[in-house]
Amino acid sequence: MNKEIIVSICCATYNHQKYIRDAIESFLMQKTTFPFEILIHDDASTDGTADIIREYEVKYPDIIKPIYQTENQYSKGINPYIAFVYPRAQGKYIALCEGDDYWIDPLKLQKQVDYMERNSRVSILASHYTIYDQEKETFINPPKIKYELNFDTLIKKRNKIATATVCFRREFANQYTEEIKPLEKEWFIGDYSLWLFLSQKGQVKILNNVTTVYRRLLKSASNNQSIEKQFNFYRKINCMIDFYIKRYGCQDNTKIQFEKYKYNLEINYAFNLKNKSIMKQEMIKKRNAGFNVGLKYHIKFFFLLFNMNYIFNSINFQRKKMRLGKNG
């Protein structure tokens, strides 16, 4: 067997005591004709995550290579993959998986490496996946991607690639750091930026196999954020997409759809804040930019303008009075 490491499995984890064992076991069960390494970045977990990693480190010292932080890096706005993990990777390819997700196909890595070895123009190879809803304790199969993935569809359809399914060429991780300088940006929005970059370096392909379980946890970031934080998150995504469009260009219809999305985001933001004046301003901006505002946004504005909640509550109150009168 060739001693050269072919794949670097990169895993970022924080307080995943309940899940990290599943992830590591799914890495170790991979059946390959080549060596691989497992780089696990523990971001100063406060539960027993690091102890579990150390347990596996002792058992598999030549494969498992942990990075233990004493201070949480994510809270400082530092992407652990870019800052700590990718620079230590030795493989020709990098496979990603978060500490709360896991693989279910023991041939995942072999299939991906075989495919990419045969297709040198492919820069990133993902796969289909299933979702485990932690709250409902059920598995959900999301719709499979049936369209061609490229720079434009990644913008129009947004991020449809699950991180834990991905395998890409390590050389592009170095180029990404040098050319895009993501650590200097304030996007901090996961791997979506990397996918857009990789789509400019080669083809984006999806294996027609379900290889991975993405775990939807009870405390997801989006569920615990205020309206302000949620919309700021999407604004950062838009800022990142703006950067890539200016850098690489895109199809006209992609740019038009993206501009409409930005206007709609601000209109929805104003609606959620119940701010009539801001909503009106954003609707006017969209119309002045040459876009149709759309019936649904006029209806939303109508609700705000005439305080429809008050009207509905008044109707319900009158109905209750009528029922009480009949009973009396």
- Please check the confidence at residue 327 and state whether its pLDDT lies above 90: no
Same domain assignment for residues 216 and 274: no
Same domain assignment for residues 199 and 256: no
Is residue 232 a part of any domain in this protein?
no
Same domain assignment for residues 93 and 195: yes
Residues 6+ apart with CB under 8 A from 26: 97, 102, 103, 104
Task: Report the number of distinct structural domains present in the chain.
Answer: 2
In terms of Cβ atoms closer than 10 Å to its own Cβ (0-12, 13-18, 19+), residue 49 is buried
Cα distance between the two ends of the chain = 89
Same domain assignment for residues 181 and 84: yes
Is residue 23 a part of any domain in this protein?
yes
Q: What are phi and psi of 69, to 5 degrees?
A: -95, 145
Residues 6+ apart with CB under 8 A from 233: 189, 222, 225
In degrees, rounded to 5, the angle at the alpha carbon of residue 16 between the alpha carbons of residues 14 and 22 is: 130
The first and second tokens of residue 200, run together, are: 């400019």
Q: What are phi and psi of 214, to 5 degrees?
A: -95, 120
- At which of 204, 223, 242 does a domain end? 223
Question: What are the pLDDT digits (tens) for 230-285?
Answer: 788 888 899 999 999 999 999 999 999 998 888 888 877 777 766 667 667 776 77
Is residue 259 a part of any domain in this protein?
yes
Same domain assignment for residues 83 and 144: yes
Same domain assignment for residues 54 and 149: yes
Could you list the residue range(s) of the whole structural domain that residue 293 is in?
251-310
Q: What is the DSSP string of 50-105?
A: HHHHHHHHHH-TTTEEEEE-SS-SGGGT--HIIIIIGGG--SSEEEE--TT-EE--
Same domain assignment for residues 139 and 281: no
Same domain assignment for residues 298 and 165: no
Is residue 322 a part of any domain in this protein?
no
Residues 6+ apart with CB under 8 A from 130: 104, 139, 140, 141, 142, 210, 212, 213, 214
Whole-prediction pTM = 0.83
The first and second tokens of residue 315, run together, are: 């109707």
Question: What are the pLDDT digits (tens) for 14-57?
Answer: 999 999 999 999 999 999 999 999 999 999 999 999 999 999 99
Is residue 238 a part of any domain in this protein?
no
Is residue 230 a part of any domain in this protein?
no
Return the pLDDT at 265. 83
Return the pLDDT at 319. 52
Same domain assignment for residues 266 and 123: no
C-alpha 126/C-alpha 205 separation (Å) is 6
Check which CATH number belongs to the domain holding 106 and give it: 3.90.550.10
Return the pLDDT at 58. 97
Mean pLDDT of the chain: 85
C-alpha 35/C-alpha 198 separation (Å) is 25
Q: What are phi and psi of 11, to 5 degrees?
A: -130, 125
Is residue 111 a part of any domain in this protein?
yes
Cα 178 from chain centroid (whole Å)? 22
Same domain assignment for residues 23 and 170: yes
Same domain assignment for residues 255 and 219: no
Same domain assignment for residues 122 and 267: no
Is residue 214 a part of any domain in this protein?
yes
